[in-house]
Amino acid sequence: MKCCRLLILVVCITLIGFNGILVYSGEQNKKSDEFRNEFVKNFRRTGLNTTVGDAMMLRILVESSGAKRGIEVGSASGFGAINMGIGFERTGGHLYTLEIDPRSAKVCRDNLQKVGLENTVTCIEGDALKTLPTLEGEFDFVFIDAVKQDYMKYLKLIEPKLKPGAVVVGDNVIRSARAMKDFLDYIQNSPDYDTVIIRASMEKKDGMSISYKIR
């Protein structure tokens, strides 16, 4: 049932686009919400950051799935982490974002502090292939956006920690499909996952895979 709700949400968002969604990002319950929305709107993104539409999609997936513990592989300067962090704050959860580049990790931490999410999102510096095994406990949300040919390696390190019902999202799966063929073949054919590939953002010709862990 939870999987069906997620897939219906994904289809609806894909059909209507993000023009309307970006105008409204939830009830303004906190004084800081207005500042955060303005910060996100004016965020100086680089080519490594996810798009505006994809970032909002991630936030909505976190909120709608009720995720409590998440992993992001590839922080860059924190645009995606901020959007997911807002979602995790609303669900009472926590996000661990992993970044290999020391300079980007520092910028990410600084940006998280500026929007008051430093207690909701933890930025871990280092190669994800080495830092992922150090994470303890179970997780129910994953976003992978790092070295494309290593997507399968990331997933295999995370998979033993995934709860049934977890959501796994992979970025750049259309443009970089050849580099991550093993990952795409696995998540689309494994009996353990329901997977859909969508083009959520009109900003660039690329897409995301969204998988629901059945068991």
> What pLDDT, in 10s, does the model give residues 51-71?
788 888 999 999 999 999 999
More confident residue, 48 or 206: 206
Going through the chain in order, the beta strands assigned E by DSSP cover: 69-73, 94-99, 121-125, 139-144, 162-171, 193-198, 208-213
- pTM of this prediction? 0.84
Q: With 70 as the cut, is the pLDDT of residue 24 above it?
A: no
Q: Dump pLDDT digits (tens) for 195-210.
A: 999 987 777 778 999 9
Q: How far apart are CA 99 and CA 104, in angstroms?
A: 7
Q: How far apart are CA 44 and CA 7, in angstroms?
A: 31
Q: Dump pLDDT digits (tens) for 172-183.
A: 999 999 999 999
Q: How far apart are CA 204 and CA 215, in angstroms?
A: 33
Q: With 60 as the cut, is the pLDDT of residue 20 above it?
A: no
Question: Rounded to the nearest 10 degrees, how much is the dihedral formed by the CA atoms of 172, 175, 177, 183?
Answer: 0
Confidence of residue 110 (pLDDT cuts 50, 70, 90): very high
Mean pLDDT of the chain: 87
Q: With 80 as the cut, is the pLDDT of residue 47 above it?
A: no
For the chain, list the domains and their CATH numbers: 33-42+49-213 (3.40.50.150)
User: What pLDDT, on the 0 to 100 scale, is given for residue 3?
Assistant: 55
Amino acid at 213: K
